[in-house]
Amino acid sequence: MLDTTRFGEMAVFSGNAHRAFAEAVGQHLEIPLGNCEVMEFSNENIFVRFHDNIRERDVFLIQPIVPPVNTRLMELLIMIDAAKRASAGRITAVIPYYAYGRSDKKDQPRVPITARLVANFLEVAGADRVLTVDLHAGQIQGFFNIPLDELTAFPLIADYFKSQNLTNPVVVATDVGGAKRAQNVAERLKTDIAIVDKRRSGNDEKAEAVTLIGDVKGRDCIIVDDEVLTGGTVASCIGLLRERGARSVRVACVHALFAPRAYQVLDNKDTDEMVFTDSVPLPAPWGTVPSHSISIAPLIGDAIQRIHTGGSVGELFR
Ligand code: R5P
């Protein structure tokens, strides 16, 4: 493999969050994952030890921040600290799913901006760069004072739907904030968008699709969202789209978090297909609804290779 980097040889390690994904990235890069022990003592203190020499090497630590979120975050921070103290040449935190992204602004009195706090933690621990995928909101990029590359899986999702040759597709944003994302997918499918006016009244994770901007009658709707957690948002959108005469309704998200209650919430919803990526461990099989998973391991692998050799990451999306 060509190595033009000013850092040493590339070394890729996985925490405990999603080892299968890290292995798929390693396979794409044609290198084995490095040997790193990440374990917890009986007092819940986490211990990390790199069993490979990483002095001056270009180290990539793969860890989506998924449940148990605070444990996985702490593992990543301690891995970064251990790599720093082992004299790694450069440390990139590869975070396919960035938790706490929904806490990105002070939108109620006396609340934190936890997405910013997590960024601070990563920097203080010693990360030199971050590589991530579809943040909940673009402004989170600005919470970091170190370089951050944000990849997007939506072109892959759009290409999948293109291959399905839907008769009369329309891309549906689950809220006004998701309109740009829906537009990008719609452009690739050469179609238009509809926007759901979604409201949340409190902090109880309940979402209500109030009304719809756009026409979906007789059309094949593709709901796109960055993540599905409780399923409340998409369940409410599916109901509204059916009410407005949609012919079919598919749901696509990047981060399929699927909290246990999502299965109940989405049960019996009239869904034609669920499409998601492997940025987080894959959800349990989904009753009778057909599901399709798209791997973003090659995308992450290509980005790692480009970061390592000083290539353009942006060109991955041209
Ligand atoms: C919210 O703004 C996001 O884009 C998603 O719609 C939300 O995170 C989904 O959460 P849930 O599945 O719990 O409704």
Residuewise pLDDT in 10s, the chain (318 residues): 445 557 899 999 999 999 999 999 999 999 999 999 999 999 999 999 999 999 999 999 999 999 999 999 999 999 999 999 999 999 999 999 999 999 999 999 999 999 999 999 999 999 999 999 999 999 999 999 999 999 999 999 999 999 999 999 999 999 999 999 999 999 999 999 999 988 877 777 777 877 999 999 999 999 999 999 999 999 999 999 999 999 999 999 999 999 988 888 887 778 999 999 999 998 877 677 889 999 999 999 999 999 999 999 999 998
Could you tell me the two tokens for 222? 């593709």
Centre of ligand 1 to C-alpha 272, Å, is 20
- Number of compact structural domains in the chain: 2
Which residue out of 195, 230, 233 has the highest number of ligand 1 atoms within 8 Å of its CB and is therefore the one to mutate?
A: 233
Centre of ligand 1 to C-alpha 228, Å, is 6
Whether residues 122 and 164 share a domain: the answer is: no
Could you tell me the two tokens for 78? 């301690």
Whether residues 133 and 183 share a domain: the answer is: no
Chain centre to alpha carbon of residue 296: 10
**Residue 158 and residue 160: Cα distance in Å, rounded?**
5
Q: DSSP assignment, residue 54?
A: -
Contacts 24+ apart (CB under 8 A), 27-34: 27/297, 28/297, 28/298, 28/300, 28/301, 28/302, 29/1, 29/301, 29/304, 29/305, 30/1, 31/1
Q: Is 236 in the pocket of ligand 1 (CB under 6 A)?
A: no
> Residue 4 falls within a domain, yes or no?
no
**pLDDT (tens digit, 9 = 90+) per residue, 247-298?**
999 999 999 999 988 888 887 778 999 999 999 998 877 677 889 999 999 9
Whether residues 281 and 310 share a domain: the answer is: no
Q: Is 174 in the pocket of ligand 1 (CB under 6 A)?
A: yes
Centre of ligand 1 to C-alpha 227, Å, is 6
Whether residues 284 and 158 share a domain: the answer is: yes
Q: Is 196 in the pocket of ligand 1 (CB under 6 A)?
A: no
CATH of the domain at 210: 3.40.50.2020
pTM above threshold 0.85: yes
Backbone angles phi, psi at 39, to 5 degrees: -140, 170
Q: Give the active site residues.
A: 198
Could you tell me the two tokens for 65? 């921040």
Centre of ligand 1 to C-alpha 234, Å, is 8
Whether residues 196 and 235 share a domain: the answer is: yes
- Provide the residue range defining the domain that includes 25: 10-152+298-317
Three-state secondary-structure class, residue 131: strand
Could you tell me the two tokens for 13? 């390690």
